[in-house]
Every structure is written in C-alpha cells, then in structure tokens.
Amino acid sequence: MSQAQAKYKRIMLKLSGEMLGGERGFGIEGENLQFVAHEIAEVQKQGVEVAIVIGGGNIWRGARASGWDMDRANADYMGMLATVINSLALQGILETKYNVFSRVMTAIHMQELAEPYIRRKAIKHLAKGRVVIFAAGTGNPYFTTDTAASLRAREISAEVILKATKVDGIYDRDPNEDPNAVKFKELSYFDVISKKLKVMDATAITMCMEAAIPICVFKLGEEGCVWRAVTGETEGTLVH
C-alpha cells in the first residue's frame, strides 16, 4: 500500500453490481467479493470513514424487463432488492474475513435483515469507524444507484464520491470499442453533462455539482486501487 496520506476523511464508494460478477458479469464470484472487501478493509484501517452504495446489475437490471411488458416501477423495486443481496454479501465478508464492523442500511424497511436508513444514525456509525453500506437505492423507482450514491453522499457530508469502474477513467468514447478513445484527466460537472459522457446520470451529476462534491472515476482492478483513489494518486479522472 502507498505510504501517502489520505486526501479525504469520509468517502462514498460507488460500486456497480457487475464488479462482483467477475468476467461473466452476473451472480457473485467469491474472488471478486473478497477483493472488493479487502480493498475496503485496507482503507478503513487507515482511519478513513467509508460509506458504500452498490448496484444490483449482476442479479437484476430493471432495463432488462423493458421488453417483457413488465411495469417499470415493479422492475426497479426488484433491482433494489438485488442491491440488498449484494450489500449483505459484502457485509458478511467484511466482518467474517476482515474483522471490519459494518452496517447495512436500507431505504426499504426489512428490519430482520438490516437497519432502516436514518441519516443521523448513519453518520454516528461512520464516526465510530463502521463501514456503512446503503442498500435499496433511494427507495423509489426511476432513480439509479448513482443518484442514490450522490444523495447519500450529500446527506452524510462525504468529501468525495469514488466511482469504481472497469476502465481507468472517463473517455470521450468507449475505449473497449475504440482504441483511439481519448481519456480525460479532469472534467467539470458541466462538461460531463454537455458532452453526454456516460459516467453517472444527469441527476446524480447535478446533485454533486450543487454540493461541490468531487467525483473520482477509477479502475477497480489492481491491489491498492481504492487507497490510491483516497490519496489522490490514482490515474483516473476527477470531475469537479
């Protein structure tokens, strides 16, 4: 791990569900789950307060049901439940393998599994060094987990949103499809919206812009990648 000092005291880590699905992109791969948990544990041990929002696309993505004549709201609620499964899986590994105390807080009440989301309680957990995992999005259909991450980041006064992706930053085109894609080192919030860069949805970007919360987009892959993002050493893209 880098010996650099943490640039941020309280972070919001945004993970896509696909990060847990491995090469297949669906389900939960044990190795991927343990890698993510290890990265979080290493950051938490340095005294950084860690909040997490994780998607559910590895289990269910509401957009998939668009051709099934399924009601969009119903499909989105199913996606929210998928995020709860991912959150509980991450919590389980953090506590049993890495001895990191954590709390799953859900926007939809399911008290047998997790705590209901209460802002002041979430902040108290973070101050006590517990990792807080926010599940079930905002609790409302038609909103993405990116928007949920921006909303919760504002509510808990996170200093940055670290968005983990499969590529090392933001490009003007998909680098997996076009080898000539140009990578941006820094962008303004307005640039992301006006250029229609597919980083986070416009609602999420706007919320960050209003609260001046920077967004660091980095690649989740090599060991220590989350810590490098926390210290500002990452080669990713900073939106601010």
Query: Could you tell me if residue 153 is inside a domain?
Result: yes
Query: Could you tell me if residue 44 is inside a domain?
Result: yes
Q: Identify the helix (H) or strand (E) that includes residue 149.
A: helix 145-155
First to last CA, the chain: 26
Give the pLDDT of residue 65.
61
The structure's pTM equals 0.93
CATH code of 19's domain: 3.40.1160.10
Residue % of the chain over a pLDDT of 70: 96
Give the pLDDT of residue 196.
87
Domain range enclosing 177: 10-239
Query: Could you tell me if residue 61 is inside a domain?
Result: yes
Query: Could you tell me if residue 143 is inside a domain?
Result: yes
Of 17-21, 107-111, 123-127, the range with the lowest mean pLDDT is 17-21
Query: Taking 90 as the threshold, does the pLDDT of residue 148 lie above it?
Result: yes
Residue labelled with tokens 């919206």: 193
pLDDT digits over 121-132, tens only? 999 999 999 999
Give the pLDDT of residue 82.
95
Query: Could you tell me if residue 4 is inside a domain?
Result: no
Query: Taking 80 as the threshold, does the pLDDT of residue 66 lie above it?
Result: no
Q: Comparing C-alpha atoms, which of 71, 68, 62, 219 is closest to residue 137?
A: 62
Average model confidence (pLDDT) for the chain? 92
Query: Could you tell me if residue 2 is inside a domain?
Result: no
Looking at the structure of the chain, the number of domains it has is 1
CA torsion, ordered 45, 48, 49, 52, to nearest 10 deg: -80
Mean pLDDT on 54-65: 79
Query: Taking 90 as the threshold, does the pLDDT of residue 147 lie above it?
Result: yes
Give the pLDDT of residue 2.
59
Query: Could you tell me if residue 35 is inside a domain?
Result: yes
